[in-house]
Chains A and B, each alone.
Chain A
């Protein structure tokens, strides 16, 4: 059974860099899109971006200029870095496994990390 476990700093100041990591266990790492999604307080889900094993990352156009998603293949992990954060980046961030064919649903998901941006 595939499981995703995520971690990272939960409190940042404006202009700092948000960094999160997600570890994948119990299943194959190759062939899937490893994905980040966020949810601002009381609001809906927003897709951030993804990366495929041996592939290029794919980012949300609204975040592309500040975003890096990378793989640590030997450790079955993937990471998110978002630079120059503002209060608008305050959200719960989730990692998730995306389907290889872009025709099915996301899942499983990590447990979520609340990241608060405050001075």
Chain B
């Protein structure tokens, strides 16, 4: 089954750009979705199908893929972006989550 590896943590200065990677053998051939989870809250999708933003998600959030790595980019990072972020794919019928990345805004 798929394994999705993310960096444990990413730090970004206020107003700067953060990039969170998600690496796995099947990333290049499957849609990748990204979730933001703040403490005590349920996850919320910020990017679906690699590059699409749900309504209500700021344009500062964008997704991309290259080879076997997907990337979530947060531009002009704000204090409110501090959260855990998870990537996710469907491995045939099984849902696989990435290991998760804690984003700290300095």
Contact = CB atoms under 8 A, between A and B. Distances in A.
A105 B42 contact: no
B88 interface: yes
Interface residues of A, number: 23
B interface majority secondary structure:
strand
A50 B35 CA distance: 19
Chain B interface residue bracket vs A? 20 to 34
A87 interface: no
Contacts of B37: 45
A61 B94 CA distance: 9
Interface string A81-113: 000000000000010101000111111011110
B91 to A, nearest CB: 10
Contacts of B31: 103-104
Nearest to B48: A105
B89 to A, nearest CB: 10
A72 interface: no
Contacts of B48: 104-105
Given A44-B97, A106-B95, 15 more contacts: A37-B97, A47-B94, A47-B95, A60-B94, A61-B94, A94-B42, A96-B42, A104-B31, A104-B49, A106-B33, A106-B88, A107-B44, A109-B44, A111-B42, A112-B42
